[in-house]
Structure 1
Amino acid sequence: MTKLPLSFVATALLLAACDDAPKTHADVTLDVTQTDGSDLGDDSVPDQLELTDLVPDTDDVVPDAAEELPYVVLTADDYCEATVDLFCDFYLRCGRMAVTDLAECKTAFVEACNNVYEPIYRSLQASGDLAFDQTALSACGAHLATVECRKQSFDLDGPCAALWIGQRPAGQPCGLGIESFVCHPDSTCVISMATFCGECVAVAPVGQSCAGAEVTCSATAQCLDGVCVERALPGEPCGAEQPCSVGIACTGGVCGERVVVGLGDSCDQTLRCPYKSVCLGGVCVATGLLGEACAHTYECASGWCEGDVCALFLGAGEVCTLDESCQSGRCSGGVCEGLASACL
């Protein structure tokens, strides 16, 4: 079964809701895949796609028997502060964020992480669907310190994928983006193209059968001729019998890579802007932090443009007039909806 990146899904959702979607600047290229997805490497569109691939006021839920689990659970509130050092070291080494030094990176990372991603993680942990594993931090950090930049397409590739452990068994519902993480490690989220919601499906190991609807391959493998085959990383050989990582095209027998350019450089769906920037008029332009000036929400790194200043997103139940002002991205009946989608 072919896997599709989130970029395709996000594009499809935008097209489906185009009549109600807020208008954007004509020269803006919206990079909907910068943190959660990738470019579509296949020309075909299957009936289903698989995803295993970043503020309600609720208390975090930690299993009572955490000491008996094969991992050490931390609350989602610890995530940003626990990962800022290892991710910023990687960002600076590989040019993934538009900053000049480590201190600037940490400020931008913590703000965006706390305001954009952590609320979703917190909500899913509170519902018992996710666990943040402290023991995975060292492996993730060691990996990011040495991995070849082009082979780490997304933040949670490789050992870093183990930072979040899904709690839902096969057969349970899942959703897009971070909601795809809720599946237990022995399953993966298979999204229906008809509903854009999914179901956790049991994963078959590489080399074993993936035939039948009750089993599938992990995100790092593809089902070819009824058998799970490990996907090649960027820069590695590829072909009809050796697929590339999700969203990476095989060109001339070699897997391509996500090219991240710098501020002021030309950008498009192939040449991607780094974090804390946006592709505006075909050029990467810096985005602002909270309290900094803006003219449009896409100019804010971690909030929305309220008047002419980047401001915090509004939480569930707060009065709103625009979808873009809400943490959930959904303003309904004059109030912001909760973070959880209809899928869960």
Structure 2
Amino acid sequence: MSTRLAPALVLVLLSACGDNTSTSTDGGSATSSGTTSTSTSGHVPTTSSPADPSTGASDSLSGTGPTTGDTVTPTTGGDTTTATTGGDTTSPATATETTTDATATTDATSTTATTDATTGDTTLDTTTMTTGTPGCEDVADCPAEASECHAPACQAGVCDEVALLPGAPCATGVCDGDGTCVECVLEENCPMGQLCIAQQCVPPTCDDGAENGMETDVDCGGPVCAPCSPGGACEQDSDCQSGVCTGGVCQAATCDDGVENGGESDVDCGGADCPPCGPGDACDDDLDCASQVCTLQVCQAPTCDDAEQNGQETDVDCGGPTCPKCQDGDSCQSGTDCDSGVCTGQVCQPPTCNDNVHNGQETDVDCGGPTCPKCQTGEDCLVDADCDTGACENGQCVDPLPACASAPADPATGQRCPLFMPCASNSECGVFQGCQQWFCNPSKTCELNALSNCGTTKGGNCNAGVMFQQTDDPPVDKRFLPPDNVNFREVATLAFTVYNNTASALRLDKVPLMIEFMGGGSQFDVSSAKIYQDDSSPEHSGGDQLVHLTANPFSFPANGVLGPAAGSFFSQVNAGQSKRFIVTLAFAKEKTYIAGRSYRVKLVNPSGVTFKVGFNGPDYVGTNCGVPPEGFIGAWVTAQNP
């Protein structure tokens, strides 16, 4: 049985052995520098092609007549060798070798095929010869140095280089995986914040349409790009146009977010949408300020001379609680805003003489001045012509001064006009003289202060249980104005002092008086008489205390006796002490008076003066002294119309 080699294997063997028998065939532009030889040793049968009957060869070992034509065509590189074997023969086979030149250099392999004549088996011996780059078993056999972005390698027994993986460091950056050193292949190969574009590190821009670099949203936010609009992503307030980042989202500007944003000129104020700013806030123009005054980009406080209606003004620089009054035609809220004092329909009105307001050239409400009616008594005036009475005294219209106001003062008392007469000055009433002080009191009526302990004394200087003394001259003679639509006039006429030399407190109970008249007066003209405890202040001052009042004291039932007064605490004179009492005469408006009538009283019978021992005690029965024979004589009080 013969052994046949597969055509492909034969081709390999022939190529490896480098058969010297070859046929060169120009098959292209490639040139092969190696040589492929096929050598046959031993008994190799000759095989003829079935298509060539002339060979007539047969397998002599098998004894079979058929002719076998096995053809093997191995090809290595550009060389092609064709070997044809016939039947069993010991003669060398005829071989046809075809060689094709190629530009590459290929290592040659020599292969020897041996066929066992007995068994028909074929043994192949192959020897490899290297021409070109030396061979290797591993990378250690290859040069240690390699070109940039390459590493040494042993591939198929040949030293070579392979490209380093992408990202491997190189002299100017990193390798790209294809053996080239580039600036970057990934963004992390670049400095922080830069991008890797076309293998080059470039800084991101704020108009590249991508969220990159340190942006918080597309082309906005972060330390480099413009802040983001409302709705954009953010990490902190500075990432947003509004300065407000809430929940990672930029918020729209509002007038209560505590940030100066939107169209505001200061925090939450100014601009077209927010309330005006207050004094000291920043502003861009006057409209940003509540005062409507922006100076050097700062809102100013309202003033009354800034040519703006601001603050509490009702019109430009007028009205309100602090600025001058507004003039006619200006806006107002109330009459107090207007110079005329009249605000009608929120407009200041010109003054009139019937608007119930003191305005214009009036000296008082709707009177005085050159155009309005004359003022009445007691109303304000500037000149006499402002008054209906024709008399303006100390800025008030007064009744025409009576003749007494310009008459000489009384040489004895200094009085000029009667007590209780209306007055404007002290001089109308009188002058200070001796113990008398005539003056015009705050109620604008004439009044007298007769000083106590200022004159001479009468009586006294005796030794008894009770001693009387007229301490001063009697209250000075005086003239008084009869009642004119007032309840009464009360005038002091007599003063005396009681000294209690007993061991018990005594209370003055009854005082018998006599009345004298001049000028046609009558005892019935006196409506009442009063006893006061004097506090040693000026005559009949506010400190005196009423002890007793006796009505119609000089007619029945009194018949000239004042009392009983012991029921009053103020009538008591303590043991070893003294007390001064004042007697006054009162004239009621119901009486008829004739100017010139005069009245005075006398205490002439001290035995008629009675005391009680203590409150509701028995009558005092001891002695008294000190009243001179003529008695204590009171002062004349004279009714006089001014």
What's the TM-score, normalizing by structure 2? 0.11
Q: Which has the higher strand share?
A: 2
Q: Which has the higher helix share?
A: 1
Q: Which structure's relative contact order is higher, taking Cα pairs within 8 Å and 6+ residues apart?
A: 1
